Amino acid sequence: MPCVGDWLNSPLSIVQGIFAQNAPNSDWEKKVTEYFKEKLKENNATNWVPSLNDVPVHYLKPNSLVKFRCMVQDMFDPEFYMGVYETVDPNTNARVLHFGKYRDVAECGPQQEIDLNSPQTVTSERQTFYCVPVPGESAWVKEISFLTDASQARVSPSTSYTPSRHKRSYEEDEDMDLHPSKQKEQHVGKSCLQILCFSGSGGDIHGCVEPKRLETEASAGHHVISPNCSPPLDLNFPLPGEKGPACLVKIYESWESFKVNDVLEVFGVLSVDPVLSIVNSEERDSSSLDPMECMDTVEEQRVHSPPASLVPRIHVILAQKLQHINPLLPACLNEEESKTCEFVSNFMSELSPVRAELLGFLTHALLGDSLAAEYLILHLISTVYGRRDVLPLGKFTVNLSGCPRSSAFTEHLYRLIQQLVPASYHLRMSIESMNHSRFIPHKDYTANRLVSGLLQLASNTSLVIDETQLEQGQLDTAGVHNVTALGNLITWQKVDYDFNYHRMEFPCNINVLITSEGRSLLPSDCQVHLQPQIIPPNMEEYMSSLLTAVLPSVLNKFRIYLSLLRLLDYSISDEVTKAVEEDFVEMRKNNPESVTADDLHKMLLVARFLSLSAGQTTLSRERWLRAKQLEALRKARLQQQQCVNGNEL
């Protein structure tokens, strides 16, 4: 498939072609995006594009087309670059026009010079985002998307990466051929550069010498120790222990529409040119009189132009916001496309058995408590669907109280949830962790970047907070701030990022599940007291057997179920509104003390998610009654619990 190879392997040559045809006209930019849009529309073409999420950077060809599923962690300042520039050959005076889009370095032959004063020069603007893989992405998401990609990638022989080991040496030879020649061209006789190549684009050079070391290096989370002994670069992942490449994503169009914490899928040209990392070494190059060099601090330079092998650049040709990251669902769920419609309606037809099975599964997981399982489903499909001034609508934080403390129950519960949702994080609350972790992202002005924190999460991430491990103790200032931040997150679904001189509010959409023994110290929308029916002697065995008992295909259905239902619309008819009104008035009449507006809020929420969980997009009378019933059951349980506690005291 030579044509595929072309746009996949050397997209820049295609851009060059289009540029040459339309040259001074600025139409060429539009044509380029259109061309690639067309190409990617072809059946499953997106799967041929190697993904930075699955393939280590050093396996990918520089300047080839790649894709990356990521979250915008920080936004750097916009850059002005030479959109179009002219080179002059001083000997022949021949002038050639080039394009600077999708490139980091202005290309220039050995005999040529760039004419900086040419009237042809067009200055354009692009935006750089610092992107990290979606924090807390579940292993199964990675696996499944990798499998779909890989199966396709094998079809096309010209895609540079195949995961099998024996093939790699060939690839690397190719890379080797490519790289040193380039380097020779660019920096002849520069010894310090050589060192840098080792530290920076270490992949290529080490790779051919020591394939094994390379492997470990790549998987060790990029803690490459540079020979110049600077501390390893903090890649700024929101969650500790995250792996995967961070990327500088350069966006050329409509970057205003993207926000921090948005999840994007970008298709673009991979740029790992080692020249990019040189900026770092220039400090020592005292002969340089360029006053611009001293403009930024060392830290800032390190952060804003890290070695390209650690933080590759992607020049985006196409980018889209993702509604979800579940690879089992079509990426874009809009109703126009017949394919997605079909998918949705197919799934809807078998919804109720899936729900029943999921309920059964969760009931087992919650030690036989079906009411808690019911609430857990509601919680898992909840999402903030709107905001009324400051009030977030549709959040449904569940506090699962009465969790057995000893048997690592919460740990296992989290593992099950992890198997169901695309992104999640398990926060074990302890005095230690509250005092010492960084929850709120803050701006580091020396490095001029937003240092991430635990609470910088993408939309619809499941945050499971384990309060059972919390002991008595003293929280210090940081701890108090962290607890307040958690409280704010739950109540208002927003995190106030710390910009030192001021705070900025970032709305978020995070599903919080709190497991605790008693009532949680954090606020929650609804507290469900767990009533275990069975206490398995060996929790671990019990839980893992639960998982193995579920067929992978069924598990996948659960996953689709939870992701899909979140995206459905919902409405309430006038008729039912009336009925609800009547009901509420009635309830208040009987017992004005116990039924408040808050309770109505809760009931409406439960009713909403209950209807959605059954695939219904309007509220029916039955669902409303069922919601009332559930709430009544839950409350009765709480009351009972209070009585028990009261007796004990």
Partner 1 sequence: MSSPASTPSRRRGKRGRGSNPPTPQDARSPPSQKRRTDDSTSTGDLQPMPTSPPADAQSPGAADALFSSPPQFRHSAIPLDFDISSPLTYGTPSSRVEGTPRSGARGTPVRQRPDLGSVRKARQVDLHSDGLAEDIVATEQSLGQKLVIWGTDVNVASCKEKFQRFLQRFIDPLDKEDEDIGLDLNEPRYMQRLQEINMVGEPFLNVNCDHLRSFDENLYRQLICYPQEVIPTFDMAANEIFFDRYPDSILEHQIQVRPYNALKTRNMRNLNPEDIDQLITISGMVIRSSQLIPEMQEAFFRCQVCAFTTRVEIDRGRIAEPSVCKNCNTTHSMALIHNRSMFSDKQMIKLQESPEDMPAGQTPHTVALFAHNDLVDKVQPGDRVNVTGIYRAVPIRVNPRVSSVKSVYRTHIDVIHYRKTDSKRLHGVDEETEQKRFTEERVELLKELSKKADIYERLALALAPSIYEHEDIKKGILLQLFGGSRKDFTHTGRGNFRAEINILLCGDPGTSKSQLLQYVYNLVPRGQYTSGKGSSAVGLTAYVMKDPETRQLVLQTGALVLSDNGICCIDEFDKMNESTRSVLHEVMEQQTLSIAKAGIICQLNARASILAAANPIESQWNPKKTTIENIQLPHTLLSRFDLIFLMLDPRDEAYDRRLARHLVSLYYQSEEKMEEEYMDMAVLRDYIAYARSYVNPRLGEEAGQALIEAYVDMRKIGSGRGMVSAYPRQLESLIRLAEAHAKVRFSDKVETIDVEEAKRLHREALKQSATDPKTGIVDISILTTGMSATARKRKEELAQALRKLIQSKGKAPSLKYQQLLDDLRAQSDIAVTKEMFEEALRALADEDFLTVTGKTVRLL
Interaction residues for partner 1, span 585-614 (CB under 8 A): 585, 588-589, 592, 596-598, 600-601, 604-605, 608
303 or 539, CB closer to partner 1? 303
Q: Which of 20, 27, 80, 230 binds partner 1 (CB under 8 A)?
A: 80
Q: Give the interface segment with partner 1, choosing from 4-12, 406-414, 454-462, 584-592 (CB under 8 A).
A: 584-592
348 or 604, CB closer to partner 1? 604
Query: Least CB distance from residue 554 to partner 1, whole Å?
Result: 32
Cα-to-chain-centroid distance, residue 304: 21
67 or 103, CB closer to partner 1? 103
189 to 218, contacts with partner 1 by CB under 8 A?
190
337 or 582, CB closer to partner 1? 582
Beta strands 263-271 and 65-75, pairing class: antiparallel
How many residues bind partner 1, per CB under 8 A?
92
234 or 599, CB closer to partner 1? 599
Our CA dihedral for 277, 63, 106, 121, rounded to 10 degrees, sits at: -140
Q: Give the interface segment with partner 1, choosing from 70-78, 134-142, 325-333, 427-435 (CB under 8 A).
A: 70-78
Cα-to-chain-centroid distance, residue 649: 47
240 to 259, contacts with partner 1 by CB under 8 A?
256, 259
75 or 514, CB closer to partner 1? 75
Q: Which of 57, 82, 205, 526 binds partner 1 (CB under 8 A)?
A: 82
Q: Which of 31, 45, 56, 187 binds partner 1 (CB under 8 A)?
A: 187
391 or 636, CB closer to partner 1? 391
**Contact call for residues 303 and 279 (beta carbons, < 8 A):** no
**Contact call for residues 248 and 276 (beta carbons, < 8 A):** no
Query: Least CB distance from residue 62 to partner 1, whole Å?
Result: 15
87 or 516, CB closer to partner 1? 87
Q: Which of 23, 88, 106, 208 binds partner 1 (CB under 8 A)?
A: 106
Query: Least CB distance from residue 583 to partner 1, whole Å?
Result: 8
The 3-state secondary structure of 326-383 reads CCCCCCCCCCCCHHHHHHHHHHHHCHHHHHHHHHHHHHHHCCCCHHHHHHHHHHHCCC
Q: Which of 480, 534, 535, 632 binds partner 1 (CB under 8 A)?
A: 480
562 to 581, contacts with partner 1 by CB under 8 A?
570-572, 577, 580-581
What is the Cα–Cα distance from 275 to 200, expressed in whole angstroms?
10
472 or 500, CB closer to partner 1? 500
Q: Which of 77, 335, 336, 648 binds partner 1 (CB under 8 A)?
A: 77
264 to 303, contacts with partner 1 by CB under 8 A?
275-276, 278-279, 282, 285, 287-292, 294-296
Q: Which of 501, 548, 552, 553 binds partner 1 (CB under 8 A)?
A: 501
345 or 500, CB closer to partner 1? 500
Beta strands 65-75 and 510-515, pairing class: unpaired
Buried b (16+ CB within 10 A) or exposed e, 309-330: bbbbbbbbbbbeebbbbbbbbb
- Copy the structure tokens of residue 485: 């931040």
313 to 372, contacts with partner 1 by CB under 8 A?
none
What is the Cα–Cα distance from 396 to 498, expressed in whole angstroms?
26
Q: Give the interface segment with partner 1, choosing from 47-55, 201-209, 231-239, 499-507 (CB under 8 A).
A: 499-507
**Contact call for residues 452 and 236 (beta carbons, < 8 A):** yes
What is the Cα–Cα distance from 116 to 119, expressed in whole angstroms?
9
Q: How many CA atoms lie within 13 A of 627 on its CB side?
A: 25
What is the Cα–Cα distance from 453 to 132, expressed in whole angstroms?
13
Query: Least CB distance from residue 122 to partner 1, whole Å?
Result: 8
Q: Give the interface segment with partner 1, choosing from 21-29, 109-117, 198-206, 348-356 (CB under 8 A).
A: 109-117
77 or 648, CB closer to partner 1? 77
Query: Least CB distance from residue 279 to partner 1, whole Å?
Result: 8
Those residues whose C-beta lies under 8 Å from the C-beta of residue 555, and which sit 6 or more positions away, are 419, 420
Query: Least CB distance from residue 532 to partner 1, whole Å?
Result: 31
Largest CA distance in the chain: 99
Q: Which of 27, 38, 42, 125 binds partner 1 (CB under 8 A)?
A: 125
230 or 446, CB closer to partner 1? 446
35 or 385, CB closer to partner 1? 385
Is residue 119 a contact point for partner 1 (CB under 8 A)?
no
104 or 137, CB closer to partner 1? 104
248 or 421, CB closer to partner 1? 248
Q: What is the CA radius of gyration of the chain?
A: 28
Query: Least CB distance from residue 616 to partner 1, whole Å?
Result: 13
Q: Which of 225, 391, 625, 644 binds partner 1 (CB under 8 A)?
A: 391
Nearest 5°: the CA angle 300, 303, 306 is: 125
Query: Least CB distance from residue 460 to partner 1, whole Å?
Result: 16
What is the Cα–Cα distance from 609 to 630, expressed in whole angstroms?
12
Query: Least CB distance from residue 563 to partner 1, whole Å?
Result: 21
What is the Cα–Cα distance from 293 to 296, expressed in whole angstroms?
7
Query: Least CB distance from residue 537 to partner 1, whole Å?
Result: 43
**Contact call for residues 371 and 637 (beta carbons, < 8 A):** yes
What is the Cα–Cα distance from 592 to 229, expressed in whole angstroms?
70
What is the Cα–Cα distance from 376 to 383, expressed in whole angstroms?
13
The H or E element containing residue 528 is: strand 526-529
Is residue 446 a contact point for partner 1 (CB under 8 A)?
yes
**Contact call for residues 52 and 247 (beta carbons, < 8 A):** yes
Q: In residues, how long is the chain?
A: 649
Query: Least CB distance from residue 265 to partner 1, whole Å?
Result: 19
What is the Cα–Cα distance from 330 to 347, expressed in whole angstroms?
12
What is the Cα–Cα distance from 440 to 481, expressed in whole angstroms?
9
Those residues whose C-beta lies under 8 Å from the C-beta of residue 649, and which sit 6 or more positions away, are none
123 or 538, CB closer to partner 1? 123
Q: Give the interface segment with partner 1, choosing from 136-144, 150-158, 397-405, 501-509 (CB under 8 A).
A: 501-509
Q: Identity (one letter) of the amino acid at 41?
A: K
What is the Cα–Cα distance from 501 to 504, expressed in whole angstroms?
10
Q: Which of 404, 507, 518, 532 binds partner 1 (CB under 8 A)?
A: 507
Beta strands 526-529 and 398-401, pairing class: parallel
The H or E element containing residue 66 is: strand 65-75
